[in-house]
Structure 1
Amino acid sequence: MVTHKKKPIQAFHVVEDGHVTSPKGFTAGGVHTGLRKAVLDFGWIHSEIPATAAGVYTLNSFQAAPLKLTKRHVDKIRKIQTIVVNSSNANSCTGEDGMKKAQATVELTAKEKNIDEHLVAVASTGIIGVPLPFGPIKKGISYLNDPLYQKVTNFERAILTTDIETKHVAVELEIDSKTITIGGAAKGSGMIHPNMATMLAFITTDAAVDNESLEYALKSATNRTFNMVTVDGDSSTNDMVLALANGIQENLLLTKTHPQWNEFLAGFQYVCEKLAKAIARDGEGATKLIEVEVLGAKTVKAAQAVAKSVVSSNLVKAAMYGSDANWGRIISAIGYSNQKIEPERVEISIGDTIVVEKGVGIPFDEAAVILTLVKDEVKLSIDLQQGSRSAKAWGCDLTYDYIRINSSYRL
Structure 2
Amino acid sequence: MSATLQQIPDGGVTSPNGFHAGTAQAGIKDGLLEKKDVALLYSEVPAAVAAVYTTNLVKAAPLVVTKESLATGRCQAVVVNSGNANACTGTQGAADAAEMQALAAESLGVAKDLVAVASTGVIGVTLPMDRVKKGILTAAETLTATGSDFAEAIMTTDLVKKQAAVTIDIGGTVVTVGGVAKGSGMIHPNMATMLAFITTDAAVEQSALQQALCEITSRTFNRITVDGDTSTNDMALLLANGLAGNDPLREHHPDWPVFVQAVESVALHLAKTMARDGEGATRLIEVTVTGALHEADAEKAAKAVVGSSLVKTAVFGADANWGRVMMALGRSGAQVDATKVDIWIGGVQVAERGLGLPFDEMAAKRELEQDPVVIRANLNIGEGAVTAYGCDLTYEYVKINGSYRT
Structure-2-length-normalised TM-score: 0.97
Shift of residue 144, structure 1, vs aligned partner: 3.7
Q: Where do residues 9-408 of structure 1 align in structure 2 (5 Å cutoff)?
A: 9-36=2-29, 37=32, 38-75=34-71, 77-147=72-142, 151-196=146-191, 199-408=194-403
Kept in 2: contact 1:57–1:240 (CA 8 A) = yes
Q: C-alpha offsets along residues 323-381 of structure 1, whole Å, 9 cap, x if unaligned? A: 01110000110000111112222111111222111121212222111111112210111
How much does 1:215 deviate?
0.6
Shift of 1:150: 6.5
Q: Decide which moves more: 295-304 or 224-233.
A: 295-304
1:197 is displaced (CA, Å) by: 5.8
- Aligned partner of 1:246: which letter? N
* Aligned match of 1:4: none
Contact in 1 for aligned 2:38/2:139 (Cα 8 Å): no
Give the Cα separation in 2 of the matches to 1:316 and 1:160.
27
Listed as ranges, the gaps of 5+ residues in structure 1 are 1-7
| CA distance in structure 2 between the partners assigned to 1:189 and 1:146 by the alignment | 29
Separation in 2, partners of 1:53, 1:376 = 36
Question: Contact 2:22/2:142 (CA < 8 Å) preserved in 1?
Answer: no
In structure 1, distance between residues paired with 2:92 and 2:254: 49
Distance 2:6 2:358 in 1: 41
In the alignment, structure 2 segments of 5+ residues that lack a partner are none
SS in 2 for 1:324: coil
The 1-side partners of 2:294 and 2:254 are apart by 27
- Partner residue of 1:3? none
Shift of residue 288, structure 1, vs aligned partner: 0.5
Question: What CA deviation, in whole Å up to 9, does each residue of 1:127-162 have, x standing for no partner?
Answer: 001011101111122124324776522211110000
Which amino acid in the other structure matches residue 44 of structure 2? E
Alpha carbons 2:287, 2:389 under 8 Å: kept: yes
- CA RMSD, Structure 1 to Structure 2 (Å): 1.3
TM-score by length of 1: 0.95
Q: Quote the Cα distance in structure 2 between the aligned partners of 1:285 and 1:372.
A: 20
Local SS of the residue matching 1:87:
strand
Q: 1:150 to 1:409 in 2, by over 3 A?
A: farther
CA contact (8 A) 1:143 1:149 kept: no
Q: Residue 85 of structure 1: CA displacement?
A: 0.3
Measure the CA separation in 2 of the matches of 1:234 and 1:298. Answer: 27
SS in 2 for 1:204: strand
Kindly provide the amino acid, as one letter, of the partner of residue 147 in structure 2. Answer: V
- 2:181 is paired with a residue whose SS is strand
Percent identical residues: 49
Would the aligned equivalents of 1:30 and 1:151 in 2 still touch at CA under 8 Å? no
